Amino acid sequence: GAGVSQSPSNKVTEKGKDVELRCDPISGHTALYWYRQRLGQGLEFLIYFQGNSAPDKSGLPSDRFSAERTGESVSTLTIQRTQQEDSAVYLCASSPAGVGYYEQYFGPGTRLTVT
């Protein structure tokens, strides 16, 4: 079946511009996560959506970052006024449920380069 998809796969933007990254989770997965991987570093948690509950935004690095999710489907991560330190691979993952552990299935990521 279809896995987690993300678009675009690559994005180059100028410093100060806004960008929007999209994630399509696996159908039926109620939990959705965004992570960031900067060069040479591990993955950092950004935000977590579980069903209709309020999202856990504790990993967002600044108020320039925001994310939305419509029901249990698509999510968009928006970065406003991009900075060079925002350059990273942004990974989305989904899982069947948020209570107890269920495997998180990752998308291929969006590589963001801020020039």
The binding site for other proteins (CB under 8 A) comprises 3-4, 31, 33, 35, 40-45, 48, 50, 56, 59, 91, 93, 95, 98, 101, 103-104, 106-109
Q: Minimum distance between the CB of residue 81 and other proteins, rounded to whole angstroms?
A: 26
Residue 32: which H helix or E strand, with range? strand 31-37
Q: Which is nearer to other proteins, 9 or 113 (CB)?
A: 9
Q: Which is nearer to other proteins, 23 or 82 (CB)?
A: 23
Amino acid identity of residue 46, one-letter, is L
Place of tokens 């040479």: 40
How far, CA to CA in Å, does 55 sit from each of 1, 10, 109, 113? Answer: 27, 26, 21, 26
Q: Minimum distance between the CB of residue 114 and other proteins, rounded to whole angstroms?
A: 22
Q: Minimum distance between the CB of residue 93 and other proteins, rounded to whole angstroms?
A: 8
Provide CB contacts within 8 A for 65, sequence distance 6+: 46, 47, 77, 78, 79, 80
At residue 40, the 3 state secondary structure works out as: coil
Q: Which is nearer to other proteins, 19 or 34 (CB)?
A: 34
Q: Which is nearer to other proteins, 35 or 65 (CB)?
A: 35
Q: Minimum distance between the CB of residue 1 and other proteins, rounded to whole angstroms?
A: 15
